[in-house]
Structures are given as structure tokens and as C-alpha cells.
């Protein structure tokens, strides 16, 4: 949720920034008006309520003094009707406002580059040089089938398209990577947390997946529960409605979960292989910080994810997302793209975002700054998407005969 007070006070500045992200200025004006109307309704309701309270107190006095209360009662009864009306008005306006305000994305930072889509993303740097192959490197699905690591047909049999089954070294690699990543993150000061894979609506509203992106979520029939699309949701919402002592910040967490996504808007994209699955494994980083320290923590998260790739000797690059490619809740995002020689391109393997106070405002996560309660900053990032890491390992570690070597650092995790 954006800061409505800020929108009201500095409409021109805020709307200009949001227009960079394609938000219609008319919509923002509407939000501003609705916000003012809501405040008005609140003041109205509260003053009626105050009058009611005062009269009720008088009642006590009258009774004790044995005075006649019929006139006062008439007044109070009339006021009651007004209160009911005022409350209804307030409720409606609140609903109206929330409906549109909740669908407004976060304000992008000033240094986020302009752009429609990923074409305008800005490369920040490269780590490791892709190696030259003496043969034409294959794509991962081919290697996966050839080595018997991944079974696409039986995944479809069990659950449908975009599901797959991992076997043998493919399955072991999954497990090894998860452990390796979690251990690495723990060493960097991130506390390991194991969370539910099913969450309620409030949690998803807190992190911004709802109400706007319900189509992308798997919902449990008959219940207001959803499968998580990322561990970011439960990890961030651990602190929903809490006021955290300043000394406890920053909170740095890492967690492994499966992630479940309908991929509603992705028809036809990445249909081969395991780049885009309905269920995939991911190790996530989530941090909760004071506003002034969030950028330092952000850098640490990017480094942590990048270091894992470096340890796996996978070439990658860092990319600063442009306004058009930025997610709903992010103020700015750095993607890490790993080199895939089979596809001869870099593909996203991690996305690290600073949402600043956008999620904190929705989820009411605050901290005690002296005497005042202030919103925290929340950050999230993958470190890393496990399936895509396997893809990267397959393509980068392939040999001419189609076999695949195992990265040195993973061998201990695979009983080798």
C-alpha cells in the first residue's frame, strides 16, 4: 500500500513517480479524493459518537439526582440514528478506498531506469566468464532426458503440464542444492525458518499478492486458504501486526519451501523443460530492517545470492530492473541472471527486491523508534530458485558425451 497521506500532501511528486510505472493519474486523483472523503466521514462519525458518549454520561448524573430523563433520551435516540448512518457511510468509503488503493503498486525509487519491459533493464555487472565449449552445448531438457534426471511425461500424468518428476542424480541435486544454499545463508547470518506452505488471505494481502493477483494462486477449495507462490509470503507475514523492538533489527531469515504458481499469464512461454513450473523449489531470503539500513541489507542479499552462484562456478550477471519490469510491491529490484550456454543467454535465477515500507504498511509491521512506532522496510530475494540452478548446472557442466559433472562444492551433499 502506498502512503495515502503522502499522496495527499505531495500529490504532484508522488503521482509523477507512479506514472513512471504506468499508473493512471486519474486513478490517483480518485484515490486522493476518496481518501479525503473517508477522513471527512471519520470526523463526522467520531464527533457524533463523542456527543453520544457525553449524553450517556449525563444520564448517570441525571439518574443520581433524580431528574427527568425523557427529554435527554429523545435526543439520544435521535442521535443514535445519525450514528448508524455515519458509520455506514464511513464503512462504504473505507471499502471503496481500499479497493482501489490496494491495487496501486509501490512507488519506484528515483534511480530505477524507465522502460516498458526487460529490454530496458540495465546491466550492473558480470561475474565469471562463460566457458567456451568445443562442441555445441545442449539445452537442459535434452540433457535431463538423456541422463534420466527428469521425467516430463510422468509429471504430466500425475498433475498436468508444467509438472515434472526428478530421478536419481536430478533428485539428489535438488536436495543437495537446498542444503547447500540454506547452510551458506546461515553462515551469512540468516536464520533458517521452516514455514507453512498454506496461508490465509490476510497474509497474501500483506505482501501484495492479493487482491490483485488471485488468478495466479492455487486456492484451497471451500476455504480462504492458498498455496504460497513464494516463501516471501509466510516469512514476511511472520511479523504481521507486530511492533518489533529496534534492537531486534535487522531480522534476517532464510527458508526453503516449494512454491506454487498457476502462471496464468505465461501461456506458451518456457513450455519446454523446467524453467517455468507450477511447483518449484526455492530458497528464499527475507529481511526486516529499519528504513535507513535497508539498502545495506539489500546489498548483502544480492551478494549472498551471487556468492552461491560463484561457489557453484556458474557465470552470471546482475541487472537493475526498469520500471516496466518491476514487480508490484518493489521499490527497486536487482535480478541475477545465470548463463545458460544451451540457450546461449542469461536467464533470471534470482530476484531481490526492496519493498521499503510498502508491505510493512499493508501488513502493519512496525518497530519502536524511540517512542514512536514506525514502519519497517521489508526485503525479499531468492537464493536461489533450485530448479533453475539445476538447469544452469546441467547446461554449464555438460560434457561432450552428454554426461554432466557435479560442482565440487555439492559433492559432499550428494554422498560423493
Contacts with RNA, residue ranges (CB under 7 A): 5, 46-47, 49-50, 52-57, 59-60, 63-64, 73, 76-77, 80, 243, 366, 373
**Which CA distances in Å does 209 have to 236, 376, 378?**
12, 19, 15
Query: In terms of DSSP bridges, do strands 316-320 and 122-127 run parallel, antiparallel, or are they unpaired?
Result: antiparallel
Cβ proximity to RNA: between 60 and 160 the closer is: 60
Question: Catalytic amino acids?
Answer: 261, 276, 348, 351, 388
Cell of 91: 464503512
* Whole-Å CA distances, 262 to 195, 235, 336: 21, 21, 23
Whose Cβ is closer to RNA: residue 73's or residue 411's?
Answer: 73
Q: How far is the CB of 286 from RNA (least distance, A)?
A: 23
Nearby residues of 92 by Cβ (< 8 Å), 6 or more positions away? none
Task: Output 76 or 165, the one with its CB closest to RNA.
Answer: 76
- Listing DSSP states for 124-143 in one string gives EEEESPPPPPSS-PPPHHHH
Cβ-contact 362, 212 below 8 angstroms: no
Nearest approach in angstroms of CB 39 to RNA is 7
Whole-number Å distance between alpha carbons of 211 and 136: 46
Question: What are the residues facing 332 on neighbouring strands?
Answer: 354
- The smaller minimum CB distance to RNA, of residues 83 and 409, is found at 83
Smallest gap from residue 243 Cβ to RNA (A): 6
User: Would you say 26 or 371 has its CB closer to RNA?
Assistant: 371
Q: Where are the alpha helices (DSSP H) in 160-252?
A: 168-187, 201-207, 232-237
Q: How far is the CB of 45 from RNA (least distance, A)?
A: 7
Question: What minimum distance in Å lies between the beta carbon of 249 and RNA?
Answer: 16
Nearer to RNA, 19 or 50 (CB): 50
CA atoms of 321 and 346, how far apart (whole Å): 14
| C-alpha span between 41 and 258 (Å, rounded) | 45
Q: In angstroms, rounded to a whole number, what is the distance separating the alpha carbons of residues 322 and 58?
A: 62
Q: Quick one: 202 or 262, whose CB is closer to RNA?
A: 202
Closest distance between RNA and the C-beta of residue 79, in Å? 8
Angle at 302 between CA 214 and CA 272, to 5 degrees: 55
φ and ψ at residue 135, rounded to 5 degrees = -135, 175
For residue 73, the minimal CB distance to RNA (Å) is: 6
Instruction: Using alpha carbons only, give the angle 353, 358, 361 rounded to the nearest 5 degrees.
Output: 140
Query: Measured at the alpha carbon of residue 401, what is the angle toward residues 396 and 406, in degrees to the nearest 5?
Result: 40
Amino acid at each position: 500500500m502506498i502512503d495515502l497521506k503522502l499522496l495527499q500532501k505531495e500529490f504532484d511528486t508522488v503521482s509523477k513517480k507512479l506514472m513512471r510505472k504506468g499508473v493512471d493519474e486519474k486513478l490517483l486523483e480518485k484515490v486522493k479524493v476518496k481518501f479525503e472523503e473517508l477522513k471527512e466521514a471519520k470526523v463526522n462519525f467520531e464527533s457524533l459518537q463523542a456527543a453520544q458518549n457525553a449524553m450517556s454520561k449525563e444520564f448517570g448524573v441525571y439518574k443520581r439526582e433524580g431528574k427527568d430523563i425523557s427529554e435527554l433520551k429523545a435526543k439520544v435516540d435521535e442521535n443514535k440514528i445519525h450514528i448508524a448512518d455515519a458509520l455506514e457511510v464511513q464503512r462504504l468509503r473505507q471499502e471503496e478506498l481500499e479497493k482501489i488503493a490496494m491495487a496501486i503498486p509501490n512507488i519506484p525509487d528515483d534511480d530505477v531506469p524507465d522502460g516498458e519491459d526487460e529490454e530496458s533493464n540495465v546491466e550492473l555487472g558480470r561475474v565469471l566468464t562463460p566457458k567456451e565449449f568445443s562442441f555445441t552445448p545442449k539445452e537442459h531438457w535434452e540433457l535431463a532426458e538423456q541422463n534420466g534426471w527428469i521425467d516430463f511425461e510422468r509429471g504430466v500424468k500425475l498433475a498436468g503440464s508444467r509438472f515434472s518428476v526428478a530421478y536419481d542424480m536430478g533428485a539428489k541435486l535438488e536436495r543437495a542444492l537446498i542444503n547447500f544454499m540454506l547452510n551458506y545463508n546461515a553462515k551469512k547470518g540468516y536464520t533458517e525458518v521452516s514455514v507453512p506452505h498454506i496461508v490465509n488471505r490476510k497474509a497474501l494481502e500483506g505482501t501484495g499478492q492479493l487482491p490483485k493477483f488471485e488468478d495466479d494462486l492455487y486456492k484451497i477449495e471451500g476455504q480462504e486458504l492458498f498455496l504460497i507462490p513464494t516463501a516471501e509470503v509466510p516469512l514476511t507475514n511472520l511479523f504481521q501486526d507486530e511492533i518489533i523492538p529496534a534492537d531486534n533489527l535487522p531480522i534476517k531469515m532464510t527458508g526453503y519451501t516449494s512454491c506454487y504458481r498457476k502462471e496464468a499469464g505465461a501461456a506458451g512461454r518456457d513450455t519446454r523443460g523446467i524453467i517455468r513450473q507450477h511447483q518449484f523449489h526455492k530458497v528464499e531470503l527475507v529481511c526486516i530492517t529499519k528504513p535507513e539500513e535497508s539498502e545495506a541489507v539489500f546489498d548483502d542479499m544480492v551478494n549472498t545470492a551471487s556468492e552461491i552462484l560463484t561457489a557453484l562456478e556458474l557465470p552470471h550477471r546482475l541487472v537493475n530492473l526498469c520500471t516496466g519490469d518491476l514487480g508490484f510491491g518493489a521499490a527497486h529490484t536487482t535480478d541475477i541472471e545465470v548463463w545458460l550456454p544451451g540457450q546461449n543467454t542469461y536467464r533470471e535465477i534470482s530476484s531481490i527486491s526492496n519493498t521499503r515500507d510498502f508491505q510493512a504498511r499493508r501488513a502493519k509491521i512496525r518497530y519502536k523508534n524511540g517512542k514512536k512506532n514506525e514502519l519497517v522496510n521489508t526485503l525479499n530475494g531468492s537464493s536461489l530458485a533450485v530448479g533453475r540452478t539445476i538447469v544452469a548446472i546441467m547446461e554449464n557442466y555438460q560434457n561432450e558425451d552428454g554426461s554432466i559433472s557435479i560442482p565440487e562444492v555439492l559433492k559432499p551433499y550428494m554422498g560423493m
